[in-house]
Structure 1
Amino acid sequence: MTIIVGLTLVTILQAPTAPSSLTPEAIAAFLSNAKIVHAKAVGKGVTSPWRLTLSDGTLTHDAAFQSVDEHKPMERFASGGTELNFIDSWRYNVAAYRLAGLVGLGDMMPVTVERRWRGTLGALSWWVETKMDEEARLKQKIEPPDREAWSRQMYRLRVFTQLVDDTDRNLGNVLITPDWEVRMIDFTRAFRLWARIKEEDLGRCDRRLFERLQSLSMDELARATDPYLTRDEMKAVLARRDLIVAHVKRLVAERGEQQILY
């Protein structure tokens, strides 16, 4: 797993900015087809991401490229824990972006596509103009200008984290834009096969997100995430969805809809 924001704040803010009118579809087309004109290794960790500069002759913008694709019978972590059938894969970045779109959270992730670079397949993500990450915000004790808006974004993030069972979600992977919008990155260790959630992280839920979760079907999920997820991984997503929905319904029954849904 890697933290793409392992750069100085000054460096991050030097990323070229693109016209705000670009649609996600236009960004995806740019990422898929624009010429790669510069490359620089960045970040910390073992997945060795690259910061690529792309240009189509009109627009120039940076993107993050990850090609990690590790599959191990068992992984031992520095903490002393282990994980069987361990996977750390760029494919999950693409799957996470597509799933986020299905449940109405596409604007909380940078557009991500599959692309081959230097003969290697990987995930290519639009480079986010970043004010700081959540780790830096907490360390510097900086309060968001709108606490309620911030809280709502964080609850959306927590629901999505449980939906994809991201085992390595950390504060460095929560980016904050200059206008205080949250962007989630780096899901290479998500989509585990367990049907489990951390109920303590799910105190409230966005109403539209809750509706999208309830209507999400296997056919819809498969169309969006194949071939990046296996059938078993898709089933696990839906199993966790069921647990999330059941938990939110219990909270609504206990405390009332106005206290839980927003």
Structure 2
Amino acid sequence: MVRLSWEAKLAIVLVAMSISIYGCKFLVLKNPNDTANYIFNALGFLPINVLLVTIVLNKLLAIRSRRERMQKITMVIGTFFAEVGNDLLKMLAAGDPDISRLRENLSAGKDWDTDAFVRMRKQLAAYPYTADTSEIDIQALFLFLSSRRDFLLRLLENPVLLEHESFTDLLRAVFHLTEELRHRQGISDRPASDYTHLSGDTKRVYERLVLQWLEYMEYLNASYPYLYSLEMRTNPFDAGASPVVH
């Protein structure tokens, strides 16, 4: 016995109701010509009606689906910055000779509006990112990233993040840096060329991390002001940041 889906059952019920209504109209009013004329008029408009409903519904469903995905992605990104990102920013910033310039720009975020975020994106796109490993505590950096390895792996396994290319690139860069550091454990005598190579890896993470942080802050500012307020009070670029509200 074939089991009908709920869609097929609904279609049968609706068609039966339509036939019943037109049948009652024919029996009560006894005007087959008007009934047939109305049926053909309705059928003539049906394709246009289906087209309009399909476009509108698909658009609304797509907007809703995208909003739900963004909420899930933002929750994951927020967890990343709470567990890894903010501390990693502070560690890598130690190797940035221009960090005072970056702090000056990013520590005033509590008063930003949409235009301010646009200006900041342009400034950060042109910023000369540097993360000199000779100025960074490499051993502490390796131990920190190693302690967060399982957490980062779980993030990569999250299918929601497949749609967020920039954040996936950031995670990939972080994993690569972790592996580079892991293979250098126990090697103390390293040439200048190796420091240069590692500085390139740290720079890659640093740049993606700063840009992702700004994107995350912009989203929170527009959608979740209370979360944005806490992030600004614990801003990793603000040396005087405090969670206490004054």
What TM-score comes out, normalization by structure 1 length? Answer: 0.24
Higher helix proportion (structure 1 or 2): 2
More relative contact order in 1 or in 2 (CA 8 Å, sep 6+)?
A: 2
Larger-gyration structure (1/2): 2
- Calculate the TM-score normalised by the size of structure 2: 0.26
| Bigger share in strand | 1
